[in-house]
A and B are shown apart, each in its own frame.
Chain A
Amino acid sequence: MAALPRRIIKETQRLMQEPVPGISAVPDDTNARYFHVIVTGPEDSPFEGGLFKLELFLPEDYPMSAPKVRFITKIYHPNIDRLGRICLDILKDKWSPALQIRTVLLSIQALLSAPNPDDPLANDVAELWKVNESEAIRNAKEWTRRYAMDN
């Protein structure tokens, strides 16, 4: 395997030394491009109190291409589908090589605080979020309790 780019080493070091509040990202023992991520549900959101596991992978041409990020913990959110794929502009067309793992994870945390049902990935969730927000929030809380609080 090719040597790890300086950029990835630096970013990993910084994530370890000055972790982002509410987010932990640890590289895998066997693959330094694969990160085990845990995001805590933001306060005053239906995901509050939950711990959400994610996986983050830095592709060969990172940082020219965006990291691949996916929720492993089930989550009831209009911009996250059943497979945990995330609809977030900076992971797609708005990616810039100047962005970092840190900024990406912060954006994901922000997405939990502010769901955007007008730009949905999970269609039925977004639909309910629009027509009956209180029921959608109830579902999100229920899913958080059931899937993100056990361990």
Chain B
Amino acid sequence: MTTEEYDTEMDYSDSDCGDPGYEDYYNVHPWDGEGDNDIDNDQSRRDPEYAVYDCLRIEEVERLLNEDVESLSNSLHITPSLAKVLLHAHNWALQDIIAKYRTNASSLFINSKIKPLPPLDSLSGLKSQRSGLCSVCVAIQSAEKFSTLTCGHSFCKDCWCMHFEVQISQGISTGISCMAQDCNVLAPEDFVLSLLTKPNMRERYQQFAFCDYVKSHPQLRFCPGPNCQMIMRSKEQRAKRVMCSSCKTCDLIRNCNNFSFRCGIDYHAPTDCNTMKKWLTKCADDSETANYISAHTKDCPKCHICIEKNGGCNHMQCYNCKYDFCWMCLGDWKAHGSEYYVCSRYKENPNIAHESVLAQAREALKKYLHYYERWENHSKSLKLEEQTLEAIKMQINKKVMNYSGTWIDWQHLFAAASLLTRCRYTLQYTYPYAYYMEPGPRKELFEYQQAQLEAEIEDLSWKIEHAETTNRGDLENQMDIAEKRRVTLLKDFLEV
């Protein structure tokens, strides 16, 4: 037995003893349970990002919508198709519709484009039915060949069908209206389906309509993952983190679709949706500058050799001169060991008001670049973490092959990597937030906490890359600290 192996076993039993109980053994890390629905009830209090949501399949959503349709059609005694038009027009606010129906039913139907506006101005359709002439195809037809919506505009069934086909081929479904000029009465589903003959057109119509229903429903959102069919349902009013259970299975730990429920952009706590949109537009506008600053290399501050960053950690060691420095500020790494991690801070120049417009512009650009560089840096690090994960897998395989611990002994590295990603993710989105913050004590507090988190995860990143069997306790301690810092920051500033 080698010493290393002995250590592993010791370590293993150490962490095991004093645990709450056998059944809790696999649940000791709160960050493992992400996305599970059986998390304890006080989760929302502990984790400000926690949201109650379901990942639903199309059939499940259809059932859900149909329940509302049925209930509305029963209480107002209307056809399910008309109920769908009403629900779609009112963002599925069932009670709202019923209340409106009670106060003024006819105005509800007019506003929902089920019934026409009171004066029937264009009577061309009505006339045509009597003469048996369809005004669209100018063919004389028998009376039973005509169909009409509530507005009374009458056209032959072939023309209706062709009208629907052209509209559907343009992606329009719930918004198809009457053919008469200036008539906005909508064609309900049963009317459309009774006249559409081609099976593929019927199918497309139903698909598009379903899409429209989901988009108009405030609790539903399609998963933005490529080719993913899942639909999220959440009753949360605020933007929360949601992860698709289907996409996630494609890639175990990464590439899961973390997206914010309110705006559909990638999840972005603590920054709110509007700020995020502003930031992304700004970044896109400044693409010239962004290209310039996203140059991937920097020179070693000591020997000036060109260095490309190929790992997630900001603690760099020059392979040429062995100098330890920080990737962000290019300063000596030794200065970063303390709790005061200056690199994430941007100092506003207090004399800005007295300087010229040009200097102000330069200052504004400098400020933007400061935040953008850090934002971009974390985004890059996150991408590199994919490689880190691969590297960890290989590292583990190698260790297991060399009889240095068993496969099980090394699984904590995956948990650590997953936590690191999570922390980096949050950290990335703290920069747009900080960019738009007014200078003051609150911003100072925010940047202080940001710096703390930054320092902890750099530490964690370093420890993961240099993990040994002997320092598992140290690593897990670091994980705990980092996660606590992250949650504290979110708790204090998450106000979306």
Contact = CB atoms under 8 A, between A and B. Distances in A.
A63 B139 contact: no
Contacts of A94: 182
A99 B153 CA distance: 14
Nearest to B170: A65
A11 B138 CA distance: 9
Contacts of A65: 166
Nearest to A61: B166
Contact of B138 (A7, A64, A99): A7
A92 B182 CA distance: 13
B138 A97 contact: no
A96 to B, nearest CB: 4
| B interface residue count range (under 10 / 10 to 19 / 20 to 34 / 35 or more) | 20 to 34
B27 interface: no
B180 A10 contact: no
Nearest to A9: B138
Interface in B115-173: 122, 124-125, 135-139, 153, 155, 159, 162-163, 165-167
Interface string A52-96: 000000000101110000000000000000000000000000101
Contact of B139 (A6, A11, A96, A97): A6
Contacts of A7: 136-138
Interface residues of A, number: 14
B181 interface: yes
Given A64-B162, A97-B163, A5 B182 contact: no
B398 to A, nearest CB: 64
Interface string A34-65: 00000000000000000000000000010111
Contacts of A99: 181
A96 B179 contact: yes
Interface of chain A: mostly helix, strand, loop or mixed: loop
A98 interface: yes
13 contacts: A6-B138, A7-B137, A61-B162, A63-B136, A64-B163, A64-B167, A96-B181, A97-B136, A97-B179, A98-B124, A98-B125, A98-B179, A98-B181
Interface in A94-109: 94, 96-99
Contacts, number: 39
A7 B155 CA distance: 14
A7 B163 CA distance: 14
Contacts of B179: 96-98
B180 A98 contact: yes
Residue among A11, A94, A98 facing the most chain B CB atoms (10 A cut-off):
A98
A148 to B, nearest CB: 30
Given A5-B137, A64-B166, A97 B159 contact: yes
Contacts of A6: 137-139
Closest 8 CB pairs of A and B: A64-B166, A96-B181, A97-B179, A10-B138, A97-B136, A98-B181, A7-B138, A61-B166
Given A61-B162, A64-B163, A98 B137 contact: no
Contacts of A11: 138
Contacts of B135: 98
Contacts of B122: 98
Nearest to B153: A98
B182 A96 contact: yes
Given A5-B137, A6-B137, A6-B139, A96 B162 contact: no
Nearest to A65: B166
Contacts of B139: 6
Nearest to A11: B138
A97 B187 CA distance: 15
A11 B137 CA distance: 10
Contacts of A96: 179-183
A94 B178 CA distance: 11
A98 B166 contact: no
Contacts of A64: 162-163, 165-167
A97 B165 CA distance: 13
A118 B167 CA distance: 29
B139 to A, nearest CB: 6
Interface string B179-202: 111110000000000000000000
A5 B159 CA distance: 12
* Residue among A10, A94, A96 facing the most chain B CB atoms (10 A cut-off): A96
Nearest to A14: B138
A85 B419 CA distance: 57
A11 B181 CA distance: 17
Interface string A1-42: 000011100110000000000000000000000000000000
A73 B122 CA distance: 35
Nearest to A96: B181
A64 B181 CA distance: 12
Nearest to A99: B181
Given A64-B165, A98-B153, 13 more contacts: A6-B139, A7-B136, A7-B137, A7-B138, A11-B138, A61-B166, A65-B166, A94-B182, A97-B136, A98-B124, A98-B179, A98-B180, A98-B181
A108 to B, nearest CB: 16
